[in-house]
Each structure stands twice: as structure tokens, then as C-alpha cells.
Structure 1
């Protein structure tokens, strides 16, 4: 079992490595994208936070500036001072109370009463930034009645309601805001149930991951407060996994697309199209032998395709060509190659003909006879030297096919019906479509059928004789088949007994060599009866 797994891993090592590398890349990219997404989200929230802080900061700055201009030379708080202070804050939303401190230490407040000493309040925590001093509650509970931030500047004081300030921010519920004094020394307020515990020093405007939070700290105006916006670490982790799954799907889709593109461009149809464009298909010829003389009288042209050293079976690429638009191109390529080969090597072969197989698309193409005529004229090949083979399945519509075949016969071509006898409508086919040659399928003359007195092939041969059709036996492989064929007037044959398909040079040499050593058979039929 272990060996089987090792062998499987060895065969798919590249795939496994590719999957692992893709997973690592997806996880790495997901982490980077998740960090960017969270950082962008927190920065956008801070931008909204800055905008929401404009009005409270403006009110506090205005009150402190106005308080600094009030007269504080007296020893006691006057009615006029109380009135001025009350008028200053009565229409302000975020300033709850304002006060000034007289030279003798007394404090005059906008509410008409002297507040207790601020410095003596043990529940307040104090820190200073520049000219300003801040007092905040030591606890983090937020109450509209008791929680205030006190801002002091040159013996002037402003009370800002902490809850109103936080409510004005309209902070998203899934995030937490913590306001902290400079350097993180003094926690001021938090929108969460548990205030943030930050490690020093702060890394401002950088995404930081703690044990349970992911956050960014931002310095406020004049560097007075630090705003820390945070999310639960689980949010980042969940987002990372979601992005990872999404990226894996995207990568898988891209790999699938690449595989489909590769498969398309390496498919048999595409490679065949490229081979036809580059004229890389060959034509071989299987000889047709006269059984009375042993000489060659013709040959059947057969396409051969060597794809980068690999021989592609004809039944494979021809089936692909028939399913695409390549079969007509293939047929025309064969016709051109046959004409070129004939004019180069077989021009001296008297009464020698070559058959070319046609498909249904060729028969339905009205320009096909004109194309054949132009090619033969270009290569100076006699019209009678090229015959065409069809099968019953190529005749989708017999009437138009008959007209096309009559056009070809009128030009001087002979028409052969191939694989005769294996269909269902061959007799009607012989009656409606003009033929000159009938090719007897190899399945009828197999060794176990050839000698039978009532064999079907004998009746086919007799029918062809009555219609004065030449009969060519296909697939002849043994000497024992020959006397039976000759006895029924089948005097032309092709098969491995005589030769396999040959390149054109070998076919030309074979034509001029000694005839096949075929024993004479007693037959009352002369081949001249069929010419």
C-alpha cells in the first residue's frame, strides 16, 4: 500500500507541488488582502471620526478663547461674570459648563455656583499637552450625568460631556473606539465593554495585531488625544479564510481556463488544422492488382498524419475532421497531393487510376467539381486517372448527390461505391446513383465465408456483373481467397496479400516491377469484359 502511494505521488509530483504552491500563494495573498481591507476600513472610520470631531473641538476652542478674554481682576465672582458664563454655554451642545479662576483661587462657574476644587478631586486623572491640561474620570463607565472631560487653559475650564461626545461620533457597532492620552498613558474613554489594553509604544497609523484585537492608532489634532480603532482578531481571521477560499476558487478557475485553452490548442482538431495549413499530411497508396495478370491497375489514396513523431490513426483524425469543418479541407489537400504525385511519378503509368474518398460535405459542395478540374489542369493529370469513392452514409440526400456525381462522371471521373453490402439501402442506391466500380467489403470474403457456395458476396458479384460494374475485393490477405474471387468474376483486389499502403515513390517502383506471382485460375470470365 505504501509503495502504491509512493508511486502515485511520484507520477503526480508536479501536480502536488503545483497545488501546494498555489495554496501557499493563495494564503499569502489572502493575508495581504485582508490586512489591506481592514486597514482601509479603519482609516475610513477614522476619517468619519475626524469629521464628527470638528464641531465639538470648535465649541471647546471657542469657549476657552472667550473665557480668556473675561475680566478676572476681582476678588469675588460677580453677577455679571455668572451671566456672561451662562450666556456663553447655553446654546452649546457639547460644552456642559465653563468656569474661570480668579487670582485668589476662587472659581466662577456658568451654573452660578463655585465648583469644588478640581485639583482635589481624587477621581480625576490629569495630563497636560502644551498649554492645556485635561482631567478625566479614572473609571471607564460612561454616564451622561457624571462623566465629563475637563479641559483647562490659563485658569479657564470647560466641562465636555463624555457620553455626548461619543454618541456624536456614531461609531459602528462592530468596531471599538478607545480615546487615550498622549503616549497611551491615560485611558480616557472607550465604546467597548472592556477598554483596550495597549502595549507601549504606539505605532501610529500602522495596522497592529494584538492577542485578541487588530487595530490602528491615530494621533488627534495637536497630538492631544490618541484615537485607537480596533476590531476583534476573529474578524481578520474570518476575512482571511474567506479571501483564501475565494482566491483558491479564482486560481482553480484560472487553472481550469488555462487547461481548457491548452487542451483546445493541443486538441486533435486544432493540431490537424495547423497540420493542414502547413501541408504536413502525407498520402500513401494501397495498390489494386489485376488477378489475371498480377499487374497494378490502380491504387486507393489514404491520408497519413505523423504528428511530431507520433502516427495518428486515420480513423481518429478523419472522424475529428468530419465533426469539424476540416473534412473538406482534408479532401482537397488529398486531391492536390494525388495530382502532384501523379504528375511527378506516375505520368508514364498507362491506364493507372487513383481513387480518392469523398465525404458528404464534398458531395454537397457545388464548387467541388470545378475545384477538381482546376487542380487536374494545373498538374496536367488526366481526368480518367482520378476516381472517387463514396459510402452509403455519405449520401444524406440521394437526389442532390446523384446530380453531383453525374457532374463528376460527365467530366470523365469514375465513381466507386465503397463498403458495399453492409448498409440497408444499397440496391436502391445502385438504381439511383451512377456508379462504375463496386468495392466488396472485407467482411464478406473472410476465410470462414469465402468458400461458401451461397455466400452473400457471390450474389453481390453476380449483381455487379449484370450491371457491368467492376468489382474490387478489399482486404484480400491469403492466396486461398483468390480462386474463389476469380470464379465469380472478381478480378481486381487490394489487400495485404499484395501490399500495404505505400509512399508514392515505392508505389511507382512497384508498378514497374515484375507482376505479382498469381497462379492462373480457370475462369470463363475475362477482365476485358470489365473494361
Structure 2
């Protein structure tokens, strides 16, 4: 009882650890996805910002350049100067005012009057970058409509209204833009209620996560002003949480799927192992027909498994057998059943053979030929009555396989290559491995391909004849296929046209009866005419 509880707790502990690991991985992945997503969003917004700044910058540059050419040699502001200044800015959207400074310090404005100072009041800041100087208000009303940015160059001045500049940017409402001076010390303009102040050194164009914001700082076109695009930290947190929930669901689904697959293969493998121990698997046989006589000359053995009333598809339990190392036991079970069926029902059938499909593990097993010989001796079945089918995919290493197959041929067995043309080796395989029979895959002789003069199956049939191999066409389903096959010397065939896979009793009845629906295609043709 104690051991059972420990085992139960151990399984639950593993489950809890897996869930915790999946949750932690989901959170890490969420962070790894959310931060690059935010960075791309901020970079895209700044790219739009750069495009929107082109026209304002061009107007300011043009006005400053023109102001530098105006005559400033007088001692008083003249009507002509006022007129020139007013005409210079009257049609400009982003320049509110322009002014020049005379040698005696007087400032002449486009408003038609002298200015006592660049910005009213004492609450202002000034900083210089290169040849230009900037004046900005330093109070808490950085976003107010009446605030201006003044740009000065060699005693010329341009006023730009912050509100108009920011409105032109059409900045997304969920983001905040802050224009600050070099080094982050001087706030110039902001689209948010609280201007951003950079209290610590920062790197440009890198995602920064502060106490309440996620931001990226960008240098201006002339490395003058710094543009900071930011989002509330809650945006990143919310995005990470949403991604975490989604990823956690995905990881949970994957864990559940993996658990289900593991249970499926484990449980199926256990049942299959028990069925093999109890000899509970059966064998059906699909007849191979001589097209010149209509009689049966052989059959392909196909394993069948009825698991407590449920017929398990062969491709399912064979895949399980391969993954759970039961495939050799399955092959040996089929060989034993075939030998028993032959000795009971088909011992009187002359020149009749049954093929058994082999896998790579069978061919690599050095004890396999001896096992086959002992089973055939037990049931008094001649070796010529049992042939072995292999596919190209099971023979990636030709030399060891060729040695094993030669051992089987030396015992009297025939070797057939199945699904020829669908694998990797093809002609080189025929040259290095001893074969007696070549089976053409059903995909090559489908109704829409069989009549073509240059169809691949015709070349395969000609190659087989040149090597003196018997040829069997698989998957024959219509009478229309028969004349094409016979014309190329393919006189052995199997498929639903002749019969589905049959229990051994039904196969024996078919053999000893006259053909019911497979008359000789051309009784004048003999299979020996082609070999």
C-alpha cells in the first residue's frame, strides 16, 4: 500500500513539475515575444514621426536661411523689414513668427513690433546644438497651446507653436511623444499630461523599461533634439499576460496531446504484446492471379488484429510494433501462422506460394533464417512455398541485406521487391540484391496512367523482363487495366478486381474452384512466353 501511494505521489509530482515547467516556459516566451513586439510598434511609430517632421523642418530651415539674407545694418526696425518678415511667414503653417536682431540688440518681429525678449517671463531654458540655439518654456505647461519653441541661428529667430507641431504628427492616443534636449535634461514638448524627464543615462534606439513606462529614445535628423516614444508599462504587462495565457494554453494542449499519444502507444503496445503472446493475431491472404489462366498462383499474407471486437487497422498496429520493438515478434507470428495454414489447407496446392512482408529488423537479425527453417520443418512446408517481400526503404544498407537475402534464397525461398520505384535505390538495388519477383506499385498503374505509351510502369516491366524477374502488378481494380498489363508481359496481378484479402478457408476454396470472375485474358499467351 505504501509503495502504491509513493508511486502515485511520484506520478503526481512529475505532472506538477511538468505543469510548472510549462508555465515558466510560457512566461519566458511571453516576455520574449512581448518586448520585441513593443519595440517594433515604437519603431514604426517613430518612422511615421520622421516622415511627418519633414515639412515643419523644411519650413524652419527655409525661413532661417532667408532671414540670414535680410539687411540688418540699421539701428532701428524699419517698416520695410516688418513687411519682409510678415510676408515671409504669412503662408507658413508651422512658423508662427520670425525675427531678426540688429547690431544694437533690438529684435524686429514679423508681428510689426520690437520684442523685449525671445520668450516672455523668466521661466525658460536655452540650449545650443551646433550653430543653433533653442529656447523653450521650462514650466509644467509644456503641452499648452500657447507654448512655443524658438530656434535661433546667427541673430535670426523662428517661433514654432508646439500644439500645431504635435497635431501635425497625428500621434496615436495610446502612445506618448516627448521632445527633449540633448542629454535628456530639457523637456521641450509632450503629447502626454506629464512630460517625460530622463533622470538616468540611456542608450538611443534601445527598448527601456522604467518604473511606469516602456520607451525608446531616438536621435533627431541632425542629432539635435531627442524624440522619446513611450507606452505605459501596463501595456507591456497586459500584453505579456495575454501572451502568457495563450502560450500556456498551447503548451498545456501540447502536453495533453503528448500524454494522449504516449498513453495511446503505450496502451496499444501493451495490448499488442499480450495479443502476440496469446497468438491472437490472424492472417488474411490476398490472391495473386495468373492473367493467362485466371487461376491463383500465390497470395500475399496480411496480418489482422481483432482487439476485443475492434478491428485495428494494420498500419496502426504495425507502426506501434515498430516503435515498441515488437515488429520482429509480429513477423515471426505471421510466419508461424502462414506455415500452419499452409500445412492444413494448401499442402496439396502445386507451385503455390505465399509472400510474407519483412522489415529492416528482420533482415538485420542473423537468427532469422534459422527461425524460418525450424518453423517450416515443424509444419512440413517447403521453402519454395514461402517467399519474402521487402521494400526499397528497408534496404538502405545493401551489403548486409544482400548477404541475409542470399541465405534465404539458398534455403529455397524466393525474394520479392515490393512497391518498386517508390523508394531510394531502384536500379542499383536490383543489381546488388538477389531478387526473383518485382511488384509494381499500384500508383503506377492507376486508370489515369496505365494507358500512357511512356508510362513508368512499362519501363519497370521491361527492366524486370531483361533481368528475368517475374512481375506482379499490385492494386488492379478494373478490367480495362488487364490488356495493358498483358501487352507488356505483366501476367501476374493482385487487387480488388480479383479478390480482397481472404481468411485461409476462403482462399483454399478459391484455389480449388474454377475462377468466378477472372477469365483468362488471352488463353493463347503463356507466362513462359515472356521469360
Normalising by structure 1, what TM-score? 0.54
Summarize deviations over 1:399-455 as a string: whole Å, max 9, x none.
Answer: 999999999999999999999999999999999999999999999999999999999
Structure label with greater radius of gyration: 1
Distance 1:71 1:21, change over 3 A: same
Change (3 A) 1:152 1:279: farther
1:289 to 1:98, Cα distance in 2 relative to 1, 3 A:
closer
Q: Which segments of 5 or more consecutive residues in structure 1 lack a partner in the other structure?
A: none
Deviation at 1:242, TM superposition (A): 0.7
With 147-156 and 440-449 compared, the bigger mean Cα shift is at 440-449
| Matches of 1:67 and 1:450, distance apart in 2 | 88
Asked if 1:56 is matched to 2:65, the reply is no
Contact 2:148/2:160 (CA < 8 Å) preserved in 1?
A: yes
- Aligned-pair CA distance for 1:18: 2.0
Alignment of structure 1 residues 224-235 onto 2, 5 Å:
224-235=224-235
1:106-133 deviation per Cα after TM superposition (whole angstroms, max 9, x unaligned): 1111111112222784122111111111
Range with bigger deviation, 287-296 or 61-70: 287-296
Most deviating of 223-232 and 314-323: 314-323
**CA apart distance, 1:28:** 0.7
Shift of 1:228: 1.2
Aligned mates of 2:526, 2:485 — CA distance in 1: 13
Across the aligned residues of Structure 1 and Structure 2, the Cα RMSD in angstroms comes to: 18.6
Cα distance in 1 between the residues matched to 2:457 and 2:112: 129
How far has the Cα of 1:319 moved from its partner? 18
CA distance in 2, matches of 1:224, 1:268: 72
- Cα distance in structure 2, aligned partners of 1:97 and 1:459: 90
Contact 2:142 2:188 in 1 (8 A): no
Instruction: From the superposition, tell whether residues 93 and 300 of structure 1 become closer, same or farther in structure 2 (CA, over 3 Å).
Output: closer
Contact kept, 8 Å, 1:354 with 1:385, in 2: the verdict is: yes
Shift of 1:271: 8.4
Deviations 1:177-217 (A, max 9, x none): 11111101111111111222322212211111111111111
Indicate how the Cα distance of structure 1 residues 370 and 58 shifts in structure 2: closer, same or farther if over 3 A, else same.
Answer: same
Contact persistence 1:486–1:523 (CA under 8 A): no
CA distance 1:93–1:266, change in 2 (3 Å): same
Gaps of 5+ in 2: none
Aligned CA distance change for structure 1 residues 459 and 236 (closer, same or farther; 3 Å) = closer
Q: Is the 8 A contact 2:301 2:355 kept in 1?
A: yes
Distance change (3 Å), C-alpha of 1:132 and 1:375:
same
What pairs up with 1:162-201 in 2 under 5 angstroms?
162-201=162-201
Q: Distance in 1 between matches of 2:504 and 2:76?
A: 128
Equivalent-residue separation in structure 2 for 1:51 and 1:444 (angstroms): 61
Compared CA separation, residues 7 and 293, structure 1 to 2 (3 A): farther
Distance 1:298 1:28 in 2: 62
**1:482-516 C-alpha deviation (Å, 9 max, x unpaired):** 99999999999999999999999999999999999
1:302 to 1:24, Cα distance in 2 relative to 1, 3 A: closer
Deviation at 1:16, TM superposition (A): 2.5
Kept in 1: contact 2:489–2:530 (CA 8 A): no
Match of 1:439, SS state, is: strand
- Report what 2:352 is aligned to: 352
CA offsets 1:233-266 (integer angstroms, 9 cap, x no match):
1111111111011111122232334344445555
Deviations 1:305-332 (A, max 9, x none): 9999999999999999999999999999
**TM-score normalised by the chain length of structure 2:** 0.54
Q: Aligned partners of 1:43 and 1:231: how far apart in 2?
A: 12
Number of equivalences = 531
Q: 1:129 to 1:344 in 2, by over 3 A?
A: same
